[in-house]
Amino acid sequence: MKRIRTAKGRKVSSTRWLERQLNDPYVRRAKAENYRSRAAYKLLELDERFGLLRGVKSVVDLGIAPGGWSQVVRRRSPQAQVVGIDLLPTEPLDGVTILRMDFMDEDAPEKLREALGGPADLVLSDMAANTVGHPQTDHLRTMALVEAGLEFAREVLLPGGAYVAKVLAGGADNDLVAELKRSFTAVKHAKPPASRKDSSEWYVVAQGFKGETQ
Residue 156, judged by CB atoms within 10 A of its CB (0-12, 13-18, 19+), counts as: buried
Q: Whats the size of the chain, residue-wise? A: 214
The sheet carrying 120-125 orders its strands as: 96-100, 81-86, 58-62, 120-125, 157-167, 202-209, 184-190
What 3-state DSSP class applies to 125?
strand
Residue 66: predicted pLDDT = 95
Q: Over the stretch 59-110, which tens digit does the pLDDT of each residue have?
A: 999 999 999 999 999 999 999 999 999 999 999 999 999 999 999 999 999 9
Residues 101-131 have pLDDT tens digits of 999 999 999 999 999 999 999 999 999 877 6
Mean pLDDT on 198-205? 87
* 3-state secondary structure at position 212: coil
The answer to whether 83 touches 95, Cβ cutoff 8 Å, is: no
Domain boundaries, the chain: 39-209
Asked about 166 being catalytic, the answer comes back as yes
Distance CA(205)–CA(210), nearest Å, equals 15
d(CA 95, CA 76): 13
CA angle 50/152/174 to nearest 5° reads 65
Identify the active-site residue in 2, 11, 42, 166.
Answer: 166
* CATH class, 39-209 region: alpha beta
Q: Could you tell me what percentage of the chain is helix, strand and coil, using 3-state DSSP and rounding each to the nearest 5?
A: 35, 20, 40
Q: Could you tell me if 91 and 66 are in contact, meaning their C-beta atoms sit under 8 angstroms apart? A: yes
